[in-house]
Amino acid sequence: MAARVLVGVKRVIDYAVKVRVKPDNTGVVTDGVKHSMNPFCEIAVEEAVKLKEKQLVKEVVAVSCGPQQVQETIRTALAMGADRGIHVEVSGKDYDALGPLQVSKIMAALAKKEEANLIILGKQAIDDDCNQTGQMTAALLDWPQGTFASEVVLEGDKLKVVREVDGGLETVKLDMPAVVTADLRLNTPRYATLPNIMKAKKKKISVVKPGDLGVDVASRLEVLRVEEPPQRKAGVKVETVEDLVSKLKEGGRI
Amino acid sequence: MVLAYLRRIGSLHTNPVYRFAHEYSVGRRNYSARGSTLEQAVAAFRSVVGEDGVSLGTAVRDQHGRDESMHRCCPPDVVVWPCSVEEVSALAKICYQHQLPIIPFGTGTGLEGGVGAVKGGVCFNLGKMDCILDLHQEDFDVTVEPGVTRKALNASLRDTGLWFPVDPGADASLCGMVATSASGTNAVRYGTMRENVLNLEVVLADGTVIHTAGRGRRPRKTSAGYNLTNLFVGSEGTLGLLTKATLRLSGIPEAVVSAVCSFPSVQAAVDSTVQLLQAGVPIARIEFLDDVMMDACRCYSSLPYVVAPTLFLEFHGSKSSLEEQVTVAEDITRGNAGSDFSWARDAETRERLWKARHDAWYAALALRPGCKAYSTDVCVPISNLPQVVVETKRDLMQNHLTGPIAGHVGDGNFHCLMVLDPNDADEVQRVHQFTERLARRALALDGTCTGEHGIGLGKKALLCEEVGPQTIKVMHSLKAAMDPANLMNPGKVLLHIKIIQVYHLKSSLPSHLGKKNLNQSDMKPNKTVNVGVFSGTDLISCVGWN
């Protein structure tokens, strides 16, 4: 029986915000912008809490990497039902350059340290859309992975995962310990209620540094430039079909 | 000629309502502004909101001339998109200078034709002002701009443990909900907009900006001065443009339990409701579907529903208090011959239990494919609800109308989802007459002609009947004080006198003076505008589509 679940939660710009590129094109504006938990991470937390409610796991630990503010995100996970949190402190330039490779190294180290049997992550983050952390974590740990999960069933010491793939649904059976990444239709995350938010304030969040876990967060990637997609240009109205055909020919389309 | 005739009717000149009506209607400019007035105004608009903030396009104007009601489209002359209260004020000043009507527009999801520009004018689409400002978690309040819809607000609040519970069917603009005094399925516990607005920022017809409770103020209660906040709640854009609303939030319920129960009669279902409320059960939702609706749902979703009056219940609270609430509810329903009481705790099963209620609109439409649906809306004291519903069902059957019933029975409010063919003029007329009778039936039983949807275009005469001539006079005085030129959303809520039309009625009017009601057939066939005539202190009400 799986004893401990690690759930990764990422603090991202809220999905309802209109993202703006910084004037110097080095990134997007994050100051003063509303942030919240990545929606796929919410689904991951919900799945872990559901497993705990079914008494299939003993403890749910929420993990987040970043500066002080990510503790808010961990608190939301605690309000949803996670038992305790781990804040991996990464700030400044290191945080700007933090990507899936470093996070997966951190998750792998934590999984060993906390003796976790199951890691549930969101399939991707809505800011970078990488869709890599779950897969890399499984590879580093040499654990099986069930990604894009739309259904997860714990059967003894095996995990049945239904995956959403391009051609339809694929069902795989994984030996534990394993990594699962949550897709949209896995569940509907619960809202954090006030009493649970109050209870969450009392739950413990321990703080560690990547160095304590033996992880080097230096990035091998350098962001050169960030730009908005080109503005959509107005179309051209034509009066007749002949005009249309000649315009298409002019444009080399036919 | 007109004045001489009116002197015969009574001492109207001393009647203050007549005097103000006479002043503005006779001295009034032609509202359907064309030509130079509009051109000048549009140029001025462009200098405030830029080229992109103004549109004269036909398609755009058509979109802004209709909502989700069955009233015909009345497009404005121009649509503007202000981005701040300063821009709203500047644009309003321009409209005031040029005497152009102002029509506020939120999401266009109203059900009573409130955005129809019956006299042309300028539609203010406030959707670009979409910020959620000043959330105070410990005080349970938040301030929103008109572009924020209720679902957007609740999505933004999801991490705070708070929500805004008023939930009408559509994902409406919150300021629009303030304007129509909207309500939802959980009004029985959380109240309607009237109970949940703390403060409003309003731009008046002449561009003045006011804060009804004072700028930035948000105490949970106050005794300070006239309650201007609630004056604007339900004013449907006829007194000012709402540019900010400070709303009262509630805590997201810790746990939710849903239940369903069938009854042998409407009376039994309503009796259960009354007893539940009397037992002090803090029930959150209590919805009623009649047997016709349950049958429609059965056909629509192929689920084995019992075809009988059914109550859909929802309880909010802590896990332990819910156990108690459900037990009490089950006892009460059993005591009223309720059967098949089923309840559920987890989200998926609750969805399934309530599926009939959620699909009601579509199930009704599916009864007659190709037809449109129109929802009536009346509200009576709960004790009178069985009588109203039974008489209404009889009326529907006698007139061969399709009208399954769904209702917020905890408030005594119900809707007949009339399914009709809009191209069948006879059916449209019969539905229209049915809704008139329904409204009058509700009025006769101490109720109101509109529980949630508002007066809009079609219920102005009913409002007169509902509140009576003296109260209507007060409403007219308020309107005259706040908007003497009748620029704010003309043609809605209040009937206005058109002296010129009275003149046309001259030949038929005297014999009707003794009657209380003029029917559409009494008016000349080419008249399509509502007319109200005051005779001394008596009101003769008139009925007609706009």
- B76 plus B213 within the same structural domain: no
- B501 plus B375 within the same structural domain: no
Q: Which of B125, B150, B173 is the last residue of a domain?
A: B125
Helix A70-80 to helix A39-53 angle (10° resolution) is: 40
Which has the higher per-residue pLDDT, A157 or B9? Answer: A157
Give the gap in angstroms from C-alpha A48 to the nearest C-alpha of chain B: 16
A39: β partners: none
Residue B174 pLDDT level (bands cut at 50, 70, 90): very high
In a domain, B211, yes or no: yes
Distance CA A55, CA A3 (A): 10
How many domains, chain B?
Answer: 4
**How many other C-beta atoms are found inside a 10 Å radius of the C-beta of residue B240?**
29
Residue among A16, A192, A195 whose CB faces B159 most closely: A192
Are A48 and A3 spatial neighbours (Cβ–Cβ below 8 Å)? no
Inform me whether the pLDDT recorded for B514 exceeds 80.
no
- The confidence score (pLDDT) of residue B437 equals 95
Inform me whether the pLDDT recorded for B334 exceeds 80.
yes
Distance CA B462, CA B451 (A): 13
Strand duo B78-80 + B122-125: pairing: parallel
CB contact under 8 A, B254 and A193: yes
Three-state DSSP at B197 gives strand
Distance CA B388, CA A79 (A): 46
**How many other C-beta atoms are found inside a 10 Å radius of the C-beta of residue A199?**
13
Residue B525 pLDDT level (bands cut at 50, 70, 90): very low
- The confidence score (pLDDT) of residue B302 equals 82
Q: Which of B159, B252, B348 to mutate to test the interface with A (most CBs of A within 10 A)?
A: B159
Burial class (CB in 10 A: 0-12, 13-18, 19+), A38: buried
- B287 plus B395 within the same structural domain: yes
Which has the higher per-residue pLDDT, A137 or B274? Answer: A137
- B285 plus B400 within the same structural domain: yes
Are A62 and A85 spatial neighbours (Cβ–Cβ below 8 Å)? yes
Among A128, A111, A107, A2, smallest CA distance to A56 is for A2
CB contact under 8 A, B161 and A36: no
Contacts of B160 in chain A (CB under 8 A): 192, 197
- B390 plus B300 within the same structural domain: yes
Residue B511 pLDDT level (bands cut at 50, 70, 90): very low
CB contact under 8 A, B253 and A193: yes
- B293 plus B361 within the same structural domain: yes
Among B203, B182, B189, B185, smallest CA distance to B247 is for B182
pLDDT (mean) for B443-467: 95
Rg of chain B (C-alpha set): 24
Least confident window among A89-98, B14-23, B66-75, B214-223:
B14-23
* Average pLDDT taken over every residue of chain B: 85
Three-state DSSP at A71 gives helix
Structure token pair of residue B343: 């309840």
User: What count of Cα atoms within 13 Å lies in the side-chain half-sphere of residue B330?
Assistant: 14
pLDDT (mean) for B439-450: 96
- The confidence score (pLDDT) of residue A151 equals 97
Which has the higher per-residue pLDDT, B518 or B243? Answer: B243
- The confidence score (pLDDT) of residue B497 equals 53
pLDDT per position as a tens digit, B46-57: 999 999 999 999
- The confidence score (pLDDT) of residue B313 equals 94
- The confidence score (pLDDT) of residue B10 equals 36
Inform me whether the pLDDT recorded for B522 exceeds 80.
no
- B106 plus B21 within the same structural domain: no
Q: Which of B95, B125, B155 is the last residue of a domain?
A: B125
Distance CA B41, CA B77 (A): 11
Least confident window among B324-338, B361-375, B466-480, B486-500:
B486-500
Q: CA torsion, points A60, A61, A62, A68, in degrees to nearest 10?
A: 150
E strand segments, chain A: 4-8, 11-13, 35-37, 59-66, 84-89, 118-122, 145-155, 158-165, 168-175, 178-182, 205-208
- The confidence score (pLDDT) of residue B104 equals 97
Instruction: Report residue A5: phi and psi, to 5°.
Output: -110, 130
pLDDT (mean) for B232-261: 96
E strand segments, A90-241: 118-122, 145-155, 158-165, 168-175, 178-182, 205-208
In a domain, B36, yes or no: yes
**How many other C-beta atoms are found inside a 10 Å radius of the C-beta of residue B135?**
17
Are B312 and B407 spatial neighbours (Cβ–Cβ below 8 Å)? no
Residue A1 pLDDT level (bands cut at 50, 70, 90): low
Are B316 and B256 spatial neighbours (Cβ–Cβ below 8 Å)? yes
Are A111 and A141 spatial neighbours (Cβ–Cβ below 8 Å)? yes
**How many other C-beta atoms are found inside a 10 Å radius of the C-beta of residue B269?**
29
Inform me whether the pLDDT recorded for B15 exceeds 50.
no
pTM for the model:
0.84
* Domain A4-251 of CATH type 3.40.50.620: yes
- B303 plus B364 within the same structural domain: yes
A4-8: strand order across its sheet: A168-175, A158-165, A145-155, A178-182, A118-122, A4-8, A59-66, A84-89, A205-208
pLDDT per position as a tens digit, A193-228: 999 999 999 999 999 999 999 999 999 999 999 999
- The confidence score (pLDDT) of residue A7 equals 98
A172: β partners: A161
Task: Search chain A and give the residue with CA nearest B155.
Answer: A16
Residue among B156, B161, B318 whose CB faces A192 most closely: B161
pLDDT (mean) for B287-303: 90
Residue among B152, B253, B318 whose CB faces A16 most closely: B152
- B243 plus B264 within the same structural domain: no
In a domain, B494, yes or no: yes
Contacts of A193 in chain B (CB under 8 A): 161, 251-254
Distance CA B91, CA B83 (A): 11
Inform me whether the pLDDT recorded for B261 exceeds 90.
yes
Least confident window among A110-114, B399-403, B526-530:
B526-530
User: Rounded to the nearest 5 degrees, what angle is found at the Cα of B174, between the Cα atoms of B158 and B382?
Assistant: 95
Task: Search chain B and give the residue with CA nearest A38.
Answer: B159
In a domain, B534, yes or no: no
pLDDT (mean) for A110-120: 96
Inform me whether the pLDDT recorded for B331 exceeds 50.
yes
Inform me whether the pLDDT recorded for B507 exceeds 70.
no
In a domain, B538, yes or no: no
Inform me whether the pLDDT recorded for B531 exceeds 70.
no
Inform me whether the pLDDT recorded for B508 exceeds 80.
no
* A155-178 exposure pattern, b = at least 16 Cβ within 10 A, e = fewer: eeeebebbbbeeeeeeeeebeebb
Q: Which of B192, B223, B251 is the last residue of a domain?
A: B251
- The confidence score (pLDDT) of residue B353 equals 81
- B79 plus B159 within the same structural domain: no
Residue among B156, B252, B318 whose CB faces A191 most closely: B252
Structure token pair of residue B375: 């929802």
Domain ranges of chain A: 4-251
In a domain, B535, yes or no: no
Are B362 and B429 spatial neighbours (Cβ–Cβ below 8 Å)? no
Residue among A16, A193, A194 whose CB faces B156 most closely: A16
- B288 plus B382 within the same structural domain: yes
Distance CA A171, CA B416 (A): 47
- The confidence score (pLDDT) of residue A253 equals 87
CB contact under 8 A, A37 and B318: no
Place of tokens 């330039």: A93
Inform me whether the pLDDT recorded for B501 exceeds 50.
no
Q: What is residue B238's DSSP assignment?
A: S
pLDDT per position as a tens digit, A57-110: 999 999 999 999 999 999 999 999 999 999 999 999 999 999 999 999 999 999
Residue B372 pLDDT level (bands cut at 50, 70, 90): confident
Q: What is the span of the domain harbouring residue B51?
A: 31-125
In a domain, B453, yes or no: no
In a domain, B450, yes or no: no
- The confidence score (pLDDT) of residue B303 equals 80
Inform me whether the pLDDT recorded for B414 exceeds 90.
yes
Contacts of A196 in chain B (CB under 8 A): 161, 254
Inform me whether the pLDDT recorded for B160 exceeds 80.
yes
Inform me whether the pLDDT recorded for A46 exceeds 70.
yes
Residue B543 pLDDT level (bands cut at 50, 70, 90): very low
